[in-house]
Amino acid sequence: MGKKPETLGERLQRQREAAGLSQSALARAAGVPIGTLRNWEQDRRVPRFDTAWRVARALDIPLEDLAPEAPRPPKGKRKGKTK
């Protein structure tokens, strides 16, 4: 049997530890309550896209490193742009 996929919470904790940040430091940098961050790391809750983006920025990593399955807009299409 193969290894089970890493959860978002596991990825978040791994990235936070790799950055050398405590939960409280990352929560502060991302502008979220520490309890919320703990819930994410324990896979009790999932962050909204905009919040996950702020966490990724606080960790200085691409969003895909936290949520590789996150949907992406089609290439060449931008909001508000018409052809």
Please report, for residues 35, 69, 71, 79, the alpha-carbon distance to residue 74 in angstroms, rounded to integers and kept in the order given.
35, 14, 9, 11
**14-38 as b/e: b if 16+ CB within 10 A:** ebbeeeebebeebbebbebeeeebb
pLDDT of residue 16: 98
Helix (H, G, I), strand (E, B) or coil at 76: coil
CATH match of 21-65 with 3.40.50.12280: no
- Kindly list the domain boundaries of the chain, sorted by start residue: 21-65
**What integer pLDDT is reported at residue 76 of this predicted model?**
60
The parts of the chain modelled with pLDDT lower than 70 are 1-2, 70-83
CB contact at 8 A, 8 and 2: no
